[in-house]
Chain A
Amino acid sequence: MGHQYKAIQWNGNKIVYDLYLFAFVAIFIGVFMFVGLQTHASGHSADPVVLAIRALGTAAFSLLTIILAIGPLARMNKRFLTLLYNRRHLGVVTFLVASAHFGLALFWYHSSGPLNPFVSLFVSNPLYDSIPGFPFETLGFAAFLIMMAMAVTSHDFWLNNLSAPVWKALHMLVYPAYALLVMHIVLGALMTEKSMTYPIMTAATFVGVSSLHLIAGLREWGADSGMKQLKEKGWVDVCAPDDIAEKRAVITPLPKGDRVAIFRYDGKISAVTNACRHQNGPLGEGRVIDGCITCPWHGWQYRPDDGISPPPFTEKISTYNVRIEEGRVLLDPKPNKPGTRVEPALIPGAGVVS
């Protein structure tokens, strides 16, 4: 967490993750080059540089597709949290592969000519008024700039200094970047290559990613819709204490769209915002571990009663007032200032562990 900044806070899982990532990229590009360099049936052979440009571009697009699929997959199946963790390394590697693709294409297609390569990128194909003729390179370049901004600001240093909402908004640009890349492929490679494999694969990945987001979104929307009709003012009747599993939470949406995670632990009930201070991870899907609410995405921790990370960390999240009356957990929908201590509600009949 954020008490100090290191380039990378390595641990065993991150090392395994990155080694696997390296193997994945190496296999993808290696197989592509090996197959692509085989002499064609006609006796013709491809230029290794052109082939490398294509291998790197295909790899970068595949990695970005995986990045975008991991989020909704992790919402639907918790096993995918193993891939969500350290996803920013995946993002940075994707950017590096995309950089190699962009750099090589700029060098091979646009350098050593009568124009500055960056000028050539925009003027060598002037058909901006044509959809099929549109200079697809500019779309890829726009996506590249977005990916660069995301990669550069991926460190927690920027998360804290830009503020979470700005950082999150910046990183949501991954969706426009993905759309730009799809169009980059459709108006570039797909206009050149004749095999139907490419439009089918491109459409499949795009529809796959979109569908996963749609399914995950519909699930959330379905859960939220029940609370949208909530008209009552004041305290909200959420559930009975026994409806909450020990060391776990239930999540209740509030009429204004916020979500609250209500945890049961050691005979007590505490409520905090459902959004982790780190990357808005769903705290209510986490556990109480070592006395702290632990986010399922990256393991950030907060004390249930005051929403403050245990020392030496200093992050704070909003808490909510809770009480138990007549066997029901009641929640005050008004959030407290982040880090405000709230006396946990004691569950009648449950032994309180101090």
Chain B
Amino acid sequence: MSARKGVIDPAKTDTQDMFIGWAKAPVVDRRFLLGALPLGLIGAGGASWLVASELEDPGAGAWLTSATHKVTGALVNAPYPMLLVSDPAAPFGMRTVLIAAQGKCNSALKFADKEGLPVEASGVLIERKDRRMLEVPSFLDEWLTPVLIDMPGSVVMPDTVSLGPAHLAGTVMDSKCFFGVMRPGRGKTHKACASLCIRGGIPPSFWVRTKDGRESVLLMTDAQGGPIPMDILPLVADPVEAQGEIVRVGDMLQFRADANAYIRI
């Protein structure tokens, strides 16, 4: 008969009681919810489990915040703040410990008057394999104490040995996050943070992986061994390649190349 074309009759398909928010739910809706709600919770847990279990390996590194560490060594300000620590058991008889202030601003570190002197620095260690960084509370004077110890000249003034020119491909990282403050401290989701850290003076590292999966981390400097300029910032966290020179200073490998030598791959 007779409803004209286009007329919708909801009653044809919906013969059950109607759910009204302010009234008691009809039996049909309560039955629906009894089935749907547990399924929803299982779905939430399942989807969450799936997403979390597929996350990338966060990478090596540790931020040892549970204790304060004291490191004694010669204080160096260039190209980046660091402590040169005597360690006869280590290769080359020393270890380089980079220094970072809390947060992302190394400009807060001021110790030019102690350049080259032996000091004891207190802070939190950040470790990634054989790389170390000491995060110090730069707003306190007590983090840095001059000490009277004799240090070998090879530690205070380590040899600079050129290992030759090299064309490397890798990723520009901020050493602090990459060494272990953030895990993962790499990838595009970390690009802005890494860029901000390097802008704030945190030493940049060049993370190079060989074809057989081994990784090498080199401290980045300009071609003369000075701090790399901020022109590098747009390339941070992206795959890049560059022609430069590998130099060993004490136990630490540096990659010396000007910022304009880096090309995004």
- Counting residue pairs across A and B whose Cβ atoms lie within 8 Å, the total is 246
Residue of A nearest to B50 (CB): A197
Residues of chain A lying within 8 A (CB to CB) of residue B181: 47
| B40 contacts partner chain A, Cβ-Cβ < 8 Å | yes
Q: Confirm or deny: B141 has a beta carbon within 8 angstroms of a beta carbon on chain A.
A: no
CA distance A98 to B37 in the complex (A): 23
CB of B77 within 8 Å of the partner chain: no
Q: How far is the CA of A188 from the CA of B189 in the complex (A)?
A: 6
Nearest-CB distance from B18 to chain A (Å)? 5
**A28 neighbours in B (Cβ, 8 Å):** 44-45, 47-48
Contacts of B52 in A (CB 8 A): 31-36, 51, 54-55
Given A47-B184, A110-B196, A192-B189; 10 other pairs, CB 8 A cutoff:
A20-B40, A35-B49, A40-B57, A79-B28, A81-B19, A109-B190, A112-B102, A114-B107, A226-B4, A253-B6
Nearest-neighbour CB distance to chain B for A57, whole angstroms, equals 10
8 Å CB contact of A299 from B16, B21, B201: B21
Q: Which of A44, A109, A133, A236 contacts B58 (CB 8 A)?
A: A44
- A157 interface residue, CB < 8 Å from B? no
Given the known interface contacts A78-B14, A85-B21, A248-B10, the answer about A124 and B104 at a Cβ–Cβ threshold of 8 Å is no
Residues of A within 8 Å of B265, CB to CB, are none
Per the bound structure, the CA–CA distance linking A110 and B102 in Å amounts to 14
Minimum CB–CB distance for A44 against chain B, Å: 5
B215 to chain A, nearest CB (A): 12
Residues of B within 8 A of A23 (CB): 41
A interface residues, tally (CB under 8 Å): 96
Flag whether A169 is at the interface (Cβ < 8 A).
no
Give the nearest-CB partner of B33 in chain A.
A82
Residues of chain A within 8 A (CB-CB) of B11 are 244-245, 248, 250
Q: Are A120 and B196 in contact, CB atoms less than 8 angstroms apart?
A: yes
A32:B48 contact, CB within 8 angstroms: yes
Contact residues in A for B7 (Cβ distance below 8 Å)? 238-239, 243, 250-252
- Whether a CB of chain B sits under 8 angstroms from the CB of A225 is yes
A193 to B2, CA, bound (A): 59
B199 at interface by CB-CB < 8 Å = yes
Whether the pair B105, A114 counts as a contact (CB closer than 8 A) is: yes
Residues of chain B in range 15-53 having any CB-CB distance to chain A below 8 Å: 16, 18-25, 28-29, 32-33, 36-37, 40-41, 44-45, 47-53
Would you call B93 an interface residue if the criterion is a C-beta within 8 Å of the partner chain's C-beta atoms?
no
Given contacts A79-B29, A249-B10, contact A108 B53 (CB under 8 A): no
Complex interface residues of chain A between 96 and 141 (CB less than 8 A to chain B): 108-115, 120-121, 124-127, 133, 135-137
Q: Are A298 and B21 in contact (CB under 8 A)?
A: yes
Verify if A161 is at the interface (C-beta below 8 Å from B): no
